[in-house]
Chains A and B, each alone.
Chain A
Amino acid sequence: GQQVMQIPQYQHVQEGEDFTTYCNSSTTLSNIQWYKQRPGGHPVFLIQLVKSGEVKKQKRLTFQFGEAKKNSSLHITATQTTDVGTYFCALADRGSTLGRLYFGRGTQLTVWP
C-alpha cells in the first residue's frame, strides 16, 4: 500500500508561536486530506487538496500541496490553546475507487499558555 511520512511526531510551542507539520510521499498523490484529533476525541476532517501547488486557508491554518504533488504542509499562525491535538495527513488509494485512506503517524501539537 501507499505510505506517507509525517514529521515531526511531536511539537511543543508556546501560545502565539507558529507551527508546521509536513507530509511526504515517494509517489505522486492524487489528493491529500488533513484531519485533526483533539485529545480523547476522534479525527475530524479539515480539508482536502487536489491540485498541484494548491494553497488553501482556514483562518489561521494554511494548507499547501506541493507542485509535484508529493508533499503537503499544514501551517498554523499564532497558535492558540484550542489548536492542541494531533494533526494527520491522509492520502487516498490511487488504485481503488473505494476511497480508502492511508494515514500518516500524525503530529501531536502541545501549546503552552
Chain B
Amino acid sequence: DGGITQSPKYLFRKEGQNVTLSCEQNLNHDAMYWYRQDPGQGLRLIYYSQIVNDFQKGDIAEGYSVSREKKESFPLTVTSAQKNPTAFYLCASSITGVNTEAFFGQGTRLTVV
C-alpha cells in the first residue's frame, strides 16, 4: 500500500542530544514537508523540499536540519540548538502544484527531558 511512514512514533531524548526523525514515502511524490504541532497551535512549517538535494526553510527552521538525498526520504534532525524541542512532528508529502492535497504520516511525538 502506498503511504508515508514516520518512525518512531514516540521518542525520548536527553537535553543537549541531537535526534533524527525518519520520514519515508512510496507515493512517488516530489514534495515533502516537516511540520511541528504544539497544543492549541496549528501546524507550523519547519522545512520543505521540492526535489532531491534541494530544500527550503519554513517558518521555524532554527535548530533543525534536513536532507533530501533520495526522493523517498526526508529525515529531520532536531539539534541541541532547538530551545524547545518537545512537540509532535508531522511529515507530509504531495505532488507539486498549487491545488494538491498533502498526505501526512502518523507523526512522531518527541519528548526531551
Residues of A at the B interface (CB closer than 8 Å) are 1, 6, 9, 30-31, 33, 35, 41-45, 48, 50, 88, 90, 92-94, 96-106
Contacts and interface: CB of A to CB of B under 8 A. Distances in A.
B17 interface: no
Contacts of A48: 99, 101
Interface in B35-57: 35, 40-45, 48, 50
Given A43-B90, A43-B104, A99-B100, A1 B43 contact: no
For B95, B96, B101, the residue with the greatest tally of chain A CB atoms inside 10 Å of its CB is: B101
B97 interface: yes
Contacts of A31: 98-99
Contacts of B94: 99
Given A43-B90, A98-B48, A99-B100, A1 B59 contact: yes
A106 B39 CA distance: 11
Nearest to A89: B42
A92 B59 contact: no
Binding site secondary structure of chain B: loop
A104 to B, nearest CB: 6
Contacts of A105: 40-42
For A41, A97, A100, A106, the residue with the greatest tally of chain B CB atoms inside 10 Å of its CB is: A100
A42 B106 contact: yes
Contacts of A35: 102
Contacts of B96: 97-99
Nearest to A33: B101
Contacts of B44: 103
Contacts of A98: 31, 48, 50, 96
Nearest to B35: A103
